[in-house]
């Protein structure tokens, strides 16, 4: 079963999110703060993380950064902070998706499903992917964000066509 680490400092929101995950067939792991969430991340190795930004102890931006140091697990930020700079900061911290509260539960489940599909293994040796890498084009239509990030971090995009 797919495990989802759900992190929000508001108990009512956390209860709603964990119930949503449970009803959608996922196994939720709940945490009320960033430090506890990081501990639970290392303990349970979840398949996906949903994290708020404004939390005591360790905020969501720092949580994303810490997780990204060791894992490419999909991270969805779910926050009341909706300004563009905050969205960009969340994505730069390592989030794969950024959703502004309030969000409908059907939309949240759809985004979880999308990130789960994107975490499926990608054949980096396929000719289409190799050609995209050789040409130096970000193969957004071929590769999940986590794989693109991994490739960019290692400088594996080619220089042809630049």
Are residues 148 and 98 in contact, defined by beta-carbon separation less than 8 angstroms? no
pTM for the whole structure: 0.75
Shared-domain flag, residues 89 and 156: no
Q: Quick one: 44 and 103 in the same domain?
A: yes
Q: How many residues does the chain have?
A: 162
CA distance 94 to 104: 23
Same domain, 12 and 31: yes
Q: What is the structure's pLDDT at 121?
A: 47
Same domain flag for 16 and 52: yes
Identify whether residues 111 and 155 lie together within a single domain: no
Query: Looking at the structure, do residues 41 and 110 belong to the same domain, yes or no?
Result: yes
Same domain, 36 and 109: yes
136 & 103 share domain: no
pLDDT at residue 129, as a whole number: 55
Is residue 63 within 8 Å of residue 20, measured between CB atoms?
A: no
Q: Is the dihedral of CA 109, 110, 115, 116 positive or negative?
A: positive
Return per-residue pLDDT of the chain as tens, 162 residues.
889 999 999 999 999 999 999 999 999 999 999 999 999 999 999 999 999 999 988 999 999 999 999 998 999 999 999 999 999 999 999 999 999 999 999 999 988 887 665 554 444 445 555 555 555 554 444 455 555 565 565 565 554 443
Same domain, 157 and 95: no
Residue-number span of the structural domain to which 70 is assigned:
3-118
Q: Give how many domains the chain has, as a whole number.
A: 2
Statement to judge: residues 98 and 136 lie in one domain: no
């Amino acid at each position: 079963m797919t495990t989802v680490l759900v992190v929000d400092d508001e108990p009512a929101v956390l209860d709603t999110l964990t119930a949503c995950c449970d009803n959608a067939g996922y196994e939720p792991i709940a945490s009320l703060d960033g430090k506890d969430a990081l501990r639970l991340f290392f303990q349970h190795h979840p398949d996906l993380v949903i994290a708020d930004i404004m939390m005591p102890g360790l905020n969501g931006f720092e949580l994303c950064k810490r997780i990204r140091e060791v894992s490419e697990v999909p991270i969805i930020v779910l926050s009341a902070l909706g300004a563009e700079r905050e969205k960009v900061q969340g994505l730069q911290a390592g989030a794969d998706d950024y959703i502004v509260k309030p969000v409908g539960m059907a939309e949240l489940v759809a985004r979880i499903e999308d990130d789960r599909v994107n975490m499926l293994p990608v054949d980096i040796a396929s000719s289409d992917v190799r050609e995209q890498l050789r040409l130096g084009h970000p193969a957004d239509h071929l590769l999940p964000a986590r794989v693109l990030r991994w490739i960019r971090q290692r400088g594996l995009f080619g220089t042809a066509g630049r």
